[in-house]
Amino acid sequence: MTDESVPDSEEEWRETLEEDEYRVLRECGTEPKFSGEYIDEDRDGTFRCAGCGAQLFDSETKFGSNTGWPSFFDAAEDAIEYREDTSHGMVRTEVVCARCEGHLGHVFDDGPDPTGKRYCINSVALEFDEEN
């Protein structure tokens, strides 16, 4: 997708996204644990935002966290924005797409080296481009 294809209104987002994608990306929802299609994805490629197509994660940064969602130890440069999330009686760091501000998931400080980060991301917020 190009920048011009990023919807300008919530009405346009509703027309563009599937129901589950809209609930996660635009309403900060979460898919059920172990239900996402990319939990066990291990092919080489790039994970992109399902909302706007921006490159978010390289498959080389994906790791098995056994948490129920795809996990990555690093994001593409300037691809992610961070926001404080105090919902559900917790304080967490939400991660959103820097291009379209779609909710992706959260980042935690219990990941592997070299970053120590665990980007816990909803599969429905992602699209995967396999490297050929």
> Which residues are identified as catalytic?
120
CA 127 from chain center: how many Å? 9
Listed residue (8, 11, 33, 12) closest to 124, CA to CA: 33
Instruction: Classify strands 80-85 and 71-72 as parallel, antiparallel or unpaired.
Output: unpaired
DSSP helix/strand/coil, 32: coil
Q: What is the C-alpha separation between 89 and 23, in angstroms, rounded?
A: 20
CA angle 43, 44, 48 (to 5 degrees): 100
